[in-house]
Amino acid sequence: MQKVYNNLPIFLQNIICSLYGQKIKKQRFGEYFFKTLQWLEDSQWWSENDIDNYQNEQIKKLVEYAYKKVPYYKELFHENKLQPEDIRTKEDLYKIPLLTKELFRNNWKKIISSDYKIRDLIHTHTSGSTGKALDFYLSSKALQFQWAVWWRFRERFKVQFGDLHCNFTGKIAVPIQQMKPPYWRYNKPINQYHINMHHVTPNKINSIVEFLNSKKFIYYAGYPSILYQLCLIMEENDLHITHPPKVVFTGAENLLDEQIEKIGSILHCKVTDQYGFAEGCGNSSKCERDLYHEDFEFGILECVEGDNTIKFMNQRTGKVVGTGFANYAMPFIRYDVGDVGTWIDTKCPCGRLSRTMKYIDGRNEDYIITPEGRKIRRIGYIFQATRNVKEVQLVQKKQGEVIVKIVKRDEYSIKDEKAIQKGIAHWLSPKLKIDFLYVSNIDREPSGKLKIVKTLLHKNNPDQ
């Protein structure tokens, strides 16, 4: 389908983007979305006691439901000699074993509630920060709840639903091989222009900046690495934004301090971030004072160390484990997200009393430098074509070359290798030399995080 789309005239590509926009607008922004968003505007100011009571009640309801309606959890409780009555508050959650990505993949059919039919659910997927492809299902209400949480975050910074904005991600709205403007496409139902990362390059920057200045965008949104690259190239070419957005919203990657400073100074606006994941079992959004606040209405995010206990101190770093309150169709209870975060015990000056996080350590990935000179950080798209990879890491020691480390599943075959080669050529560069290295395991970083992208260029060439 991408090949057909790439060969269409630009006006038809815009129509297809808008048709897709109409579909997702219907899924995400229905009556339940607006009702939930209105409620969330009030609940963010609840007292600590109200927050605790709410979360404890949601945990109790979720566990009782999952035990009755979700085969996986019924079996899990029996195997661990647990009853729903044993889980009454969030302090009891440690009793439930973690749900890893591998356990989820091996048991996904058992995690669908008997109250739902797959045909009535919304199918989605994620490659995950470790490159593990994961398919799962959401109810319509769960998806709209998630988007209501994300929109509450945006409204904190004085933007409104329907405002004109520009999105910067890796999704190929503009074919990679296109060498003449326009390097953007329009999604009319969402009132969104899209610029994909492959076109944020020095030889195209003048056209892109001219376009950004021709519109009065209220906000930009996208991957921080792409927006950072945009600003670096603008600075190198002495280009300026004449109609700056009110705010830049980032997500999907760790937002670094140097990125905040550079993006904010070049685009003359506030830069902020929210932490979430497609599985929809937790979320944290920054407030006006730049602290991540747990979106407690949507789920609970635990800080879990090796002994699986929950301890609250002034500052604590551990892996992120989520339990979602919205998606009863496929509940994620104590789901090991694969990220590492740091929580702090503080009263935020903004007045919101939900638990706060200082930063997310686990999405700080390196980038691949392509032979064309592009710096590409998010490469999970490559592995969506295969389900036979346990873990993967791209290591770059020399520009123009990449080593693909893979922990295989038993079903892995040459077909999967070719699919990965094709994905790298499509998403990164057809000129990139690829070496496959099959290993039994991939070493973690000191933080415990597995980086999907690891660059060693600076060790071999100090000028990189």
- Residue ranges per domain, the chain? 368-460
pLDDT average, residue stretch 67-91:
97
Please report which confidence band the pLDDT of residue 448 belongs to, taking 50, 70 and 90 as the band edges.
very low
Phi, psi torsion values for 296, nearest 5 degrees? -65, -25
CA atoms of 172 and 170, how far apart (whole Å): 6
What global pTM score does this model have?
A: 0.82
Q: Give the per-residue pLDDT at 463.
A: 44
> Per 3-state DSSP, what percentage of the chain is helix, strand, and coil (rounded to 5)?
35, 25, 40
Q: What is the pLDDT of residue 89?
A: 96
Q: What is the mean pLDDT of the chain?
A: 90
We find that the CATH architecture of domain 368-460 is 2-Layer Sandwich (3.30)
Provide the pLDDT confidence category of residue 137 given band limits of 50, 70 and 90: very high
Tens digit of pLDDT for each residue in 15-26?
999 999 999 999
| Nearest CA-CA partner of 171 in 17, 386, 42, 353 | 17
The proportion of the chain whose per-residue pLDDT surpasses 70, expressed as a percent, equals: 91
CA distance 192 to 163: 8
Q: Could you give the C-alpha distances from 418 to 370, 373, 441, in angstroms and in order? A: 19, 24, 21
Burial code (b: 16+ CB inside 10 Å, e: under 16) for 292-318 equals bbbbbbbbbbbbbeeebebeeeeebeb
**More confident: 391 or 414:** 414
pLDDT (average), residues 129-145? 82
Name 119's Cβ contacts closer than 8 Å, sequence gap at least 6: none
CB-count burial class (<10 Å; 0-12, 13-18, 19+) for 48? exposed
247, β-bridge pairs: 219, 270
pLDDT score of 458 = 61
- Which amino acid, one-letter code, is at 144? Q
pLDDT at 315 (0 to 100): 82
